[in-house]
Chain A
Amino acid sequence: MSVEVGGRVRRFRVAAGLRAQDLAAQVGLDATALSKIENGRRGVKSTELALLANALKISPMALLEDNPLLSKLPIAARAAGPSIKVGGAYERLVSLTELHVILADGGIRSSPNLASIPSLHGADWMESANALSDWALSQLPLLAKGDQRLGALADGIEALLKVDVLIEDFPNDVLSGASITDSEFPLLFVNSAYSRPRSLFTMAHELGHLLAGHVDGGVALDRELSGSTEMERMANAFAARYLMPKDDIAQKLEQDGRRMSTLVELTDEYGVSYQTLVYRLHNLRLINADVRDRLMSLSWQALLNLAESALRESGLSQASIGKLRGRSQAKPAGRPPAMLLRRAFDGFRKGIISVRPLAGLLKEDAALLLSELSDTADGMDISAYFDRSQDADNSADVTDEELFSGTPV
């Protein structure tokens, strides 16, 4: 047993790029003691193991047992760059994965519904994005508009796929989103410290990862959705196609004309950022590179200034226009992972976990929650603990004004 644990300590230390003496110093051991632990010639105390795991940014459970999922997180973090582990978001994902493992081992398993997702065998990234977005548009239609889309998408993912969605605020954390594609515990994470439009695109991007199911090691941690690999390009292409369907855009432009106010309306209706929409128009060859660049040089506020008189003429109130001005800064509401929360309630009731993990999911005080649950132990209504309030829809009406005249290439 000591040999196996020591071997894992060494493996994760090497994977983290740490020298033995540096790790030893971090946890207050001398280098000889660490060497003996790694070689299985010395036992390890619980406190030492806890500190080693903390220094390696890994669950102690992954040092003690072969746990594929828990072991994948540090590998994915390594791939995403060292600063990924600095913020609380990464730790949160480790903590939720530990919770899943404990609940599953206690007989409370997740039951994702991923069987209907099309196979992508042999498809390149573009073909994959096409196939998956076609499937998603038919199976997971996103009918909501504007600010309602993020919540509606999360609801849809949970309802159709039985996949957990976590939206949580981790300010100043470089991790903007993540997907755990493990078939036992699929989870999509979006950092709500970023704006609502960015969060929506991140959610769709992570959904792309999940549907493709081909993330190295089953975990993708995203700091920027930059498209640096084919996998990332596939996820970006999927998100763009899913959130801004080609036929829908074409119809809108045909109906309302190539006006600045049409851009405002499309941006707001799709719930994406203005820049994301412009790239989509260019990728659909609806505008050329020159127009793309000219539109990209406009800020959202500048675009609104150009479109404002037309928007007013169309009957949009000053308050609605003000809301549009603030949309690029507005952050989404948080939401706990619904399936995991239900499992945690069950686990709490059965004594598999204490109240604290449950309170952590709900962001509530553990003592108060315990008192509340103790009073209602026989008839707990967990729906009362879900708060999925979303801000009001911001969609605007449109009339004509300045034109953007990009010619399809």
Chain B
Amino acid sequence: MANYRLLDTVTLRHFGVINRMDIVEMRLTGYDRPAWTDAVRSELLRDANGDGCGRVLEATFLGTPEDFSVSDLAEIFRIQRALSGDTMDPLLHLGEAESIWAADRRNGTFITDDAAAFDFAEKNLGNNRVLDCIDLLRESVAAKEITEHEAKLAADAIRNSGRHLKAGHPPTLTTDYFC
């Protein structure tokens, strides 16, 4: 089992915006730190007033963001470019790239709600090493940390805040979906 979990900005903000970082903390119990990378933190800092960012940045349980040596960067930027479309935003998808690279190197799990990054990571890491926020909520229900009803409320609250779950989940979620 992977002992290392790395969360993407989009998923951290999902839990931050509904003020349920406690669920993330519980889902990181027993896993090594850090659970985020320097580029993910930088992305949150750049949008520090954005929905959910403040709560994520205050979450000390994520650990000190992972930094990378220069010798790691060539592969990380290849992944970043592989994740990017025709945008030349230099920082876009850098957090995802760092997380996927680190998860790959350390037999870790990557957690994202970005469908394109999820699909790419699944092809490279294997489908048991990529999760989204619904997976975390299901785990939390299975571990009896929250009820199915709380999980549904959390997912609905994410959507109601104007944020998007990864494509493929039904438009209306029932409590059964989290069992």
Residues of A within 8 A of B (CB): 1-2, 5, 43-47, 49-51, 53-54, 59-61, 64-65, 91-92, 94-95, 98-99, 102, 105, 350-357, 359-361, 366-367, 370-371, 374
Contact = CB atoms under 8 A, between A and B. Distances in A.
Nearest to A52: B90
Contacts of A43: 69-70
Given A46-B39, A47-B39, A366-B85, A355 B119 contact: yes
A59 B123 CA distance: 25
Contacts of A2: 70
A355 B73 CA distance: 22
Given A1-B71, A46-B73, A46-B76, A354 B83 contact: yes
B120 interface: yes
Contacts of A99: 81
A92 B85 CA distance: 10
Tell which of A91, A350, A356, A366 has the most Cβ of chain B within 10 Å.
A356
Given A50-B94, A54-B90, A60-B90, A350 B123 contact: yes
B115 A351 contact: no
Contact of B73 (A49, A94, A370): A49
Interface in B1-59: 38-39, 42
Nearest to B43: A47
Interface in B52-68: 67-68
A409 B120 CA distance: 66
A309 B67 CA distance: 75
Given A105-B78, A354-B117, A357-B82, A51 B94 contact: no
Contacts of A65: 74
A360 B83 CA distance: 11
A64 B91 contact: no
A47 B119 contact: no
A351 B68 contact: no
Nearest to A98: B81
B90 A354 contact: no
B32 to A, nearest CB: 21
A113 B71 CA distance: 36
A98 to B, nearest CB: 5
B123 A45 contact: no
B85 A91 contact: no
Given A46-B98, A370-B167, A95 B88 contact: yes
Given A46-B39, A50-B90, A350-B123, A356 B83 contact: yes
In the A-B complex, the 7 residue pairs with the closest CB atoms: A351-B123, A360-B85, A360-B86, A356-B85, A54-B90, A354-B120, A50-B90
A5 B70 contact: yes
Contacts of A60: 73, 77, 80-81, 90
Interface string B104-132: 00000000000111011001100000000
B123 to A, nearest CB: 3
B77 A61 contact: yes
Given A54-B88, A351-B123, A357-B85, A47 B74 contact: no
A355 B83 CA distance: 8
B72 to A, nearest CB: 8
Contacts of A49: 73, 77
A2 B72 CA distance: 11
A44 to B, nearest CB: 6
A64 B73 contact: yes
B167 A102 contact: no
Nearest to A2: B70
B147 interface: no
B171 to A, nearest CB: 14
Contacts of A353: 82-83, 120
Contacts of B116: 354-356, 366-367, 370
Given A1-B71, A353-B120, A46 B94 contact: yes
Contacts of A361: 86
A206 B149 CA distance: 63
A108 to B, nearest CB: 12
Given A64-B77, A353-B82, 14 more contacts: A1-B71, A44-B73, A49-B73, A50-B91, A92-B86, A99-B81, A102-B78, A350-B123, A354-B83, A354-B119, A355-B119, A356-B83, A361-B86, A371-B167
B45 to A, nearest CB: 10
B86 A367 contact: no
B94 A102 contact: no
B77 A47 contact: no
B115 A367 contact: yes
A47 B81 contact: no
B8 to A, nearest CB: 13
Contacts of A51: 90-91
A352 B82 contact: yes
B70 A53 contact: no
A102 B86 contact: no
Contacts of B98: 46
Contacts of A374: 119
Nearest to B37: A46
Contacts of B117: 354
A46 B120 CA distance: 21
A94 B88 contact: yes
A46 B88 contact: no
Tell which of B82, B87, B120 has the most Cβ of chain A within 10 Å.
B82
